[in-house]
């Protein structure tokens, strides 16, 4: 069972702290289990959080700060914030009109394979896009979900991934561009990739999407791919 929360619009740091608190609770339970007879062990709760953030740029622990093309004054003019964080990956943007998903999952209750976990995140988004007539796929060596993925000259990213895993408990997750203001991606080298474009459902379909409708479809596909039920 997975507990779902739609947090609405939330400051990035506040949401990061909330993720960390859920992770800490899960890790405390797993640590306690090591000294507990099997019949008395508890399973950590699993969570899926959906949220929209005010304009923010985040840099993963292996990222290059040079991929942020704004100084402090530029960030202020864009009404954006910037954080160096503890997920994998390089720099990305979060903002209104984007579904950011943070699964806090104990993978020992599912499978212990980070590569498979990443592919499952991508699959849930790909199935959601298919419902809107948008074919998407993967590019070997790159994470995320792509349109025109088989044509390097046309390939464009519609969802980015970056995760952290501690003792098989995940945090951070994915950012799915639905009605995003793509101009904000012009202030970074997204994920450190210089030769690929970024897109959104709104751009591809030529209309704004109902965010609640897309969230509902994505939530359902997430449960379908991971084969769980929501609490």
CATH number for the domain spanning 45: value is: 3.30.930.10
The Cα 110–Cα 11 span in angstroms is: 30
115 belongs to a structural domain: yes
In whole angstroms, what is the distance from residue 105 CA to residue 230 CA? 13
Span 139-167, pLDDT tens digits: 999 999 999 999 989 999 999 999 999 99
The DSSP string of the chain is: -EEEEEEEE--HHHHHHHHHHHHHHHHHHHHHHTTS-GGG--PPPEEEEEEE-SSEEEE-TT--GGGB---HHHHHHTT-EEEE-SSSSSEEEE-TTEEEEEEE-BGGGT-S-HHHHHHHHHHHHHHHHHHTT---EEETTEEEEEESTT-TTT-EEEEEEEEEEETTEEEEEEEEESS--GGGGGGB-GGG-SS-EE--HHHHHTS---HHHHHHHHHHHHHHHHT--B-
Q: CA dist 146 to 77, 129, 201, Å?
A: 30, 11, 12
If one counts the domains in the chain, the total is 1
From 68, 155, 191, 198, the catalytic residue: 191
Strand partners for 91: 59
> Which phi and psi angles does 114 have, rounded to 5°?
-65, -40
What residue numbers bound the domain in which 40 lies? 2-226
CA quadruple 92, 180, 222, 46: dihedral positive or negative? positive
Per-residue pLDDT of the chain (231 residues; tens, 9 = 90+): 999 999 999 999 999 999 999 999 999 999 998 877 776 778 999 999 999 999 999 998 888 999 999 999 999 999 999 999 988 888 999 999 999 999 999 999 999 999 999 999 999 999 999 999 999 999 999 999 999 999 989 999 999 999 999 999 999 999 999 999 999 999 988 766 666 799 999 999 999 999 999 999 999 999 999 999 998
Q: Select from 160, 133, 161, 136 the least CA-distant residue to 148.
A: 136
Q: Kindly state whether residue 231 falls inside one of the protein's structural domains.
A: no
Respond yes or no: is residue 191 known to be catalytic. yes
In a domain, 162, yes or no: yes
**Amino acid 40: pLDDT:** 75
Has residue 109 been placed in a domain?
Answer: yes
What does the pLDDT look like over 188-205, one tens digit per residue?
Answer: 887 666 667 999 999 999
> What number of other Cβ atoms are within 10 A of residue 50's Cβ?
20
Question: Is position 85 within any domain?
Answer: yes
Q: For residue 36, what pLDDT is reported?
A: 77
């Amino acid at each position: 069972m997975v507990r779902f929360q739609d947090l609405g619009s939330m400051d990035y740091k506040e949401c990061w702290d909330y993720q960390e608190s859920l992770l800490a609770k899960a890790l405390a339970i797993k640590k306690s289990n090591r000294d507990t007879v099997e019949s008395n062990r508890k399973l950590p709760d699993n969570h899926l959080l959906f949220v929209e953030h005010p304009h923010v740029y985040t840099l993963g622990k292996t990222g290059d700060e040079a991929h942020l093309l704004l100084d402090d004054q530029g960030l202020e003019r864009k009404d954006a914030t910037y954080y160096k964080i503890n997920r994998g990956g390089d720099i990305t943007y979060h903002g209104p009109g984007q579904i950011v998903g943070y699964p806090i999952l104990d993978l020992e209750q599912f499978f212990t394979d980070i590569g498979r976990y990443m592919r499952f995140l991508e699959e849930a988004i790909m199935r959601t896009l298919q419902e809107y007539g948008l074919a998407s796929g993967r590019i070997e060596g790159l994470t995320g979900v792509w349109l025109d993925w088989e044509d390097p000259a046309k390939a464009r990213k519609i969802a980015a991934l970056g995760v952290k895993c501690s003792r098989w408990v995940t945090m951070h997750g994915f950012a799915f561009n639905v009605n995003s203001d793509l101009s904000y991606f012009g202030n970074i080298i997204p994920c450190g990739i210089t030769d690929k474009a970024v897109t959104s459902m709104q751009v591809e379909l030529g209309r704004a999407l109902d965010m609640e409708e897309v969230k509902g479809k994505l939530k359902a596909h997430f449960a379908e791919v991971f084969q769980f039920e929501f609490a």
